[in-house]
């Protein structure tokens, strides 16, 4: 995932552990899977008031393996608690669709399983770290081998509730990085792909949020309206699907929720961006989305935004050194437009490799404020995870 600046515009940005043998707790969790009848999510209300974001089994296993590798017993005890925090599961390749079925197995009726849909052709067009498996032009493959099988799976589990984040940083890139050849080439596939995903995944047991970057990206004066119109255009192209609830922020790059003055408010270009914290961004972007004809409630990733003052530039998105786990998932946001704080990026999974000889090496991952060494995007970085635990606010 990525970002960068262009003129006034800022921007930004799994391996999982081998399954341990099933614990008694795990068997008990599985026994509690699903509701006794079909789930219908009313996307005109806040689904996170009704459902708790599920601590998915894949992240749980990553965390459990990480805890086993920690020798400091007090840190290990804190880290172990992370396994119980709800977070989204990323379906970042066709092969990883195989994670969905096992992830559904332990979701109780009170919980909602969060999934990130992330495999567009020409993915991560403004950066390299998360370039995906599908090439520009492979839209038919995206539809038939990626989206369609996910639709089949979600339909096969009507008694489970799902929250989907649709394609992080794709539509924001079309607003701020449209001048890059890679983004120009990807544009029609992104729009067609996101519209297809929204239309096809419009199922009663699903609620969807479309990624809208963060305040340091689409929050710039020049980006707000085009950003809202860009999302609404694709939403309408999909036939205005009923199960779309709004947008999601703070995953591809992040900010504190309501720190005031905002972290970058003394920067020389701050006068061009009124969205100096994520709350202002949500409250500013939402009315524009509504005016453009799209539902406008937000979920905000607080998985890594506990510590500020770490980045040299707002657009620095890769493995920010010193970051800490933030507020745990909750529907108690104090803002009617903000449905929930959620954990979307699984803390401990890398944003990108710091190995400058790697094909997907992005220079943002080599910056002074990026943690090094870091492995390939999506793979586990034990030292980074431990730092997130140590720097967590609230503390674990």
364 interacts with ligand BGC by CB under 6 A? no
CB count within 10 Å of CB 38 equals 12
316 interacts with ligand BGC by CB under 6 A? no
* Catalytic status, residue 283: no
| Residue 346 contacts residue 379 (beta carbons within 8 Å) | no
| Cβ distance to ligand BGC smaller for residue 235 or 325 | 325
90 interacts with ligand BGC by CB under 6 A? yes
92 interacts with ligand BGC by CB under 6 A? yes
Name the residue number minimizing CB distance to ligand BGC: 378
- Distance from C-alpha of 353 to C-alpha of 362, rounded to nearest angstrom: 8
- Distance from C-alpha of 258 to C-alpha of 334, rounded to nearest angstrom: 11
Residue of 92, 106, 119, 169 marked catalytic = 169
Q: Map the footprint of ligand BGC across residues 94-123, applying CB under 6 A.
A: none
Task: Name the nearest CA neighbour of 58 among 251, 298, 346.
Answer: 346
16 interacts with ligand BGC by CB under 6 A? no
Return the exposure string of 53-63: e unless at least 16 CB atoms fall within 10 Å of the residue's CB, then b: bbbbbbbbbbb
Residue span binding ligand BGC (CB under 6 A) among the ranges 67-75, 344-352, 364-372, 380-388: 344-352
- Distance from C-alpha of 297 to C-alpha of 292, rounded to nearest angstrom: 14
| Residue 374 contacts residue 384 (beta carbons within 8 Å) | yes
Among 97, 183, 198, 377, binds ligand BGC (CB under 6 A): 377
349 interacts with ligand BGC by CB under 6 A? yes
The one-character DSSP state at 248 is E
* Catalytic status, residue 335: no
Joined together, the tokens standing for residue 179 give 């001048």
- Distance from C-alpha of 61 to C-alpha of 171, rounded to nearest angstrom: 32
| Cβ distance to ligand BGC smaller for residue 329 or 378 | 378
Residue 90 bridge partners (DSSP): 116
351 interacts with ligand BGC by CB under 6 A? yes
14 interacts with ligand BGC by CB under 6 A? yes
Which residues are tagged catalytic?
Answer: 124, 169
Question: Which residue ranges make up the site for ligand BGC (CB under 6 A)?
Answer: 1, 14, 90, 92, 130, 345-346, 349, 351, 377-378
């Amino acid at each position: 995932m990525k970002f960068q600046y262009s003129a006034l515009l800022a921007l930004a940005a799994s391996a999982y552990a081998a399954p341990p043998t099933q614990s008694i707790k795990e068997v008990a969790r599985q026994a509690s899977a699903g509701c006794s009848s079909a789930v219908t999510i009313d996307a005109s209300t806040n689904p996170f008031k009704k459902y708790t974001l599920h601590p998915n089994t894949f992240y749980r296993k990553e965390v459990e393996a990480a805890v086993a590798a920690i020798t400091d017993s007090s840190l290990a005890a804190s880290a172990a608690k992370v396994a119980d925090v709800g977070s989204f599961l990323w379906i970042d390749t066709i092969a990883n669709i195989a994670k969905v079925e096992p992830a559904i197995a332990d979701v109780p009726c009170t919980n909602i399983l969060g999934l990130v849909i992330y495999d567009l052709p020409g993915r991560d067009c403004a950066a390299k770290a998360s370039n995906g498996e599908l090439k520009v032009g492979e839209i038919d493959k995206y539809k038939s081998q990626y989206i369609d099988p996910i639709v089949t799976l979600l339909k096969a589990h009507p008694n489970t509730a799902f929250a989907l984040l649709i394609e992080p940083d794709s539509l924001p890139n079309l607003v701020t990085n449209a001048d890059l050849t890679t983004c120009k080439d990807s544009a029609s596939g992104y729009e067609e792909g996101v519209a297809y995903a929204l239309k096809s995944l419009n199922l009663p047991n699903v609620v969807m949020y479309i990624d809208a970057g963060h305040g340091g990206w689409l929050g710039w004066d020049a980006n707000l309206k085009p950003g809202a119109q860009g999302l609404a255009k694709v939403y309408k192209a999909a036939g205005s699907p009923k199960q779309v609830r709004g947008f999601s922020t703070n995953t591809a790059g992040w900010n504190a929720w309501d720190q005031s003055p905002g972290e970058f408010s003394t920067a020389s270009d701050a006068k061009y961006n009124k969205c100096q914290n994520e709350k202002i961004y949500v409250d500013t972007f939402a009315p524009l989305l509504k005016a453009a004809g799209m539902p406008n409630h937000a979920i905000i990733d607080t998985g890594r935004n506990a510590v500020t003052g770490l980045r040299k530039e707002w657009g620095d998105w890769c493995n920010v050194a010193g970051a800490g786990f933030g507020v745990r998932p909750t529907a108690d946001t104090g803002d009617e437009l903000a449905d929930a704080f959620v954990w979307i990026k699984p803390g401990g999974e890398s944003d990108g490799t710091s190995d400058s000889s790697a094909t997907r090496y992005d220079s943002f991952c080599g910056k002074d404020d990026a943690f090094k060494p870091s492995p390939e995007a999506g793979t586990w970085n034990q030292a980074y995870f431990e730092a997130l635990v140590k720097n967590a606010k609230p503390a674990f």
